[in-house]
Amino acid sequence: MLTSIGCLLVSVLLSGDSETIYVPDDYVTIQAAIDASNNGDLIVIYNGFYPEYNINTGGKAIAIVGSNIRNNGNDEVVIDAQGQGSVFVFDSGETTSTNLATLVITGGSATRGGGIYCNDSSPGIYDCTIRNNAASLYGGGVYLDNSSAASFYGCTIQSNTAEGMGGGIYASGDAQIAFSEVSNNGAVDKGGGIRCYNSNTLITNSLISDNGSEDGGAIATDGGTPTVTNCTIKANESAGGGGGLYCNGGIVTITNCDFQENLASINGGGVNSTGAGSIIATDCEFNLNQASNAGGGVFVGETRGPTDSSMTSCTFYLNGAMWGGGAALIGYDAAFNACTFGGTTLLGDSLGNSAQRGGALYFIGSSGDIMDTSFLYNTSTSDGGAVYLTSSSTPAISGCSFYGNDAGDDGGAVAAHSSSDATLTDCLVRYNTASNAGGGVYILEANPSMTNCNLVSNSAVIGGGVYASSPIRDGDRGLFYGVLTSCKLCANSPTHVSGPVDNGGGNVQPDLSGNGLVTTNDLVMLLDAWADRGAPAGDPDVNFDGSDNIIDLIDLLKNWGACWDE
């Protein structure tokens, strides 16, 4: 019987003077049936095995549809080229009026396009299985050249190989791939599943899994503006960069996609944007991806693309790498807006990202905006439980929350090294820990600034809230240290601040009892201190001005309640 897609094609084509040709009843071979057909005809192929290759539709507007209506022990319509060439060839300007449906296309072997070869042609391929084909160069399953814009709807593209690029599909034209599965394909070079070159390919509502290549285990792009929407990209692997997606040029737009369990042997377990490439990701999830070097979830680096990469409303859970478990930026700017790095399950298990440095984010010589983003329960074995900055990285971090992150050495939430003069504004830094210094923020030879931030209940051996190393004088930059302005510091252990951190004014430490709450206990402590001395002196000093007076009382009352209120 015909599938729903096949029935739709029949209903469209069987009009006017169209005819239906049956294989093998009317013609023994598919090619003979095509040669006898006219525009608008339908060729129905009964289930069975057809050893044919280089089947060419000759530019005819026809539909070739498989049917398993006959009870002959074979449930599929299998067209096997037996290694003699491509299975189908479209090279006569075919349009979407030329269609294949419900066929198994297999056994093809060619330089380009083992299963299907398209040159300046755009057929529609529906509900077909394209499997076990090979190319010695490009497009083991499918090859689309020049202005070819073929459509694939409801297809399975599986177990194809290319010795060059595009194990499943190679598209230098603009393909449309929807409601399809691209799985278990492999390429020696780029694009184990799909390779897009100067292409505006659209991939929607599809599963791309278990593919492998040198770069771009699932998808590799170079040039053009490919779009990937509502897709699951899972368990793909690259020996180089981009286990899930590798962008080496152009702009790739990714929306509502799930990158899971992808692996890169170098950079970018989920996504790698490098060279002249940029990625724009929105509402995506990056979970359980791994990179041996940098960027477990996402890697952006090396040279600048046509626009800065950005991630908006994306989540990063349980990704891992040596540098930047969630994401890594190396010599390249990117923006993170309303993202979430880490968290916990309903049972309290951590979903945090992990790395040697920068459990969630790693910046080296990079900038960009990090806005309204949450960092929860990320870990590093060395510095920067959530964020690690080095080599003059200067991101603007605003409206962010750092909670429960942990560093094996320094900087439970943030570690800023080597002239990384970042800005933190309106951030909450709470319950972060470091095994050595800077439970909240660690500063080494850098001058970051913190304004209107709350640092609450962070802990380390030294400098529970903020730790700054001894300043080093530089002829151009003066002293390296951090600046705190209008910040609230509560219940950090053992001290709020250690080292030469500059007081920019307006800072307060109203939680005299150290429990994270400003209550009557703190008020009584302040008044008792005054009463014991007979007059205000210098301790406790709520506002860091060197004396305790009526201004300390006012500042304490102004900050009444929980220290972490935003």
User: Whole-model pTM?
Assistant: 0.93
Question: Residue 433's domain spans which residues?
Answer: 346-507
- Domain endpoint, select from 465, 482, 507: 507
Is the domain of 501 the same as that of 535? no
What integer pLDDT is reported at residue 356 of this predicted model?
A: 98
- What is 47-71 written as a DSSP string? SEEE---SEE-TT---EEEEE--S-
Is the domain of 460 the same as that of 558? no
Asked, for residue 266, whether it belongs to a domain, the answer is no
What integer pLDDT is reported at residue 103 of this predicted model?
A: 98
Is the model's pLDDT at 566 over the cut of 50? Answer: no
CA angle in degrees (0–180, nearest 5) for 77-80-83 = 170
Asked, for residue 294, whether it belongs to a domain, the answer is no
Listed range (9-23, 173-187, 428-442, 511-525) with the worst mean pLDDT: 9-23
pLDDT band (50, 70, 90) for residue 545: confident
- Domain endpoint, select from 467, 484, 507: 507
Is the domain of 379 the same as that of 527? no
> Cα–Cα distances in Å, from 483 out to 208, 450, 453, 513?
48, 6, 12, 25
Asked, for residue 177, whether it belongs to a domain, the answer is no
In this structure, is the dihedral angle defined by the CA atoms of residues 57, 59, 60 and 64, taken in order, positive or negative? positive
553: left (phi over 0), alpha (psi -120 to 50) or beta: alpha
Number of domains into which the chain is organized: 2
What integer pLDDT is reported at residue 105 of this predicted model?
A: 98
Is the domain of 436 the same as that of 542? no
Q: How many C-beta atoms surround the C-beta of residue 51 within 10 A?
A: 12
Q: Stretch 103-120: mean pLDDT, rounded?
A: 98
Asked, for residue 118, whether it belongs to a domain, the answer is no
- Domain endpoint, select from 507, 532, 550: 507
Asked, for residue 376, whether it belongs to a domain, the answer is yes
Instruction: Give the number of residues written for the chain.
Output: 566
Listed range (49-63, 268-282, 334-348, 508-522) with the worst mean pLDDT: 508-522
Asked, for residue 382, whether it belongs to a domain, the answer is yes
What integer pLDDT is reported at residue 1 of this predicted model?
A: 41
What integer pLDDT is reported at residue 515 of this predicted model?
A: 85
Is the domain of 544 the same as that of 412? no
Is the domain of 408 the same as that of 493? yes
Q: Stretch 393-415: mean pLDDT, rounded?
A: 98
Asked whether the beta carbons of 56 and 87 are under 8 A apart, the reply is: no
Q: Stretch 395-415: mean pLDDT, rounded?
A: 98
CA angle in degrees (0–180, nearest 5) for 332-337-340 = 105
> Cα–Cα distances in Å, from 185 out to 137, 140, 457?
14, 8, 50
Asked, for residue 256, whether it belongs to a domain, the answer is no
What integer pLDDT is reported at residue 550 of this predicted model?
A: 84
pLDDT band (50, 70, 90) for residue 2: very low
Is the domain of 423 the same as that of 495? yes
Is the domain of 503 the same as that of 371? yes
Listed range (291-300, 372-381, 475-484) with the worst mean pLDDT: 475-484
Q: Stretch 48-65: mean pLDDT, rounded?
A: 97
Is the domain of 535 the same as that of 451? no
Is the domain of 351 the same as that of 379? yes
Is the domain of 542 the same as that of 479? no
Asked, for residue 185, whether it belongs to a domain, the answer is no
Is the domain of 543 the same as that of 472? no
Instruction: Provide the percentage of residues in the chain whose pLDDT is more than 70.
Output: 92
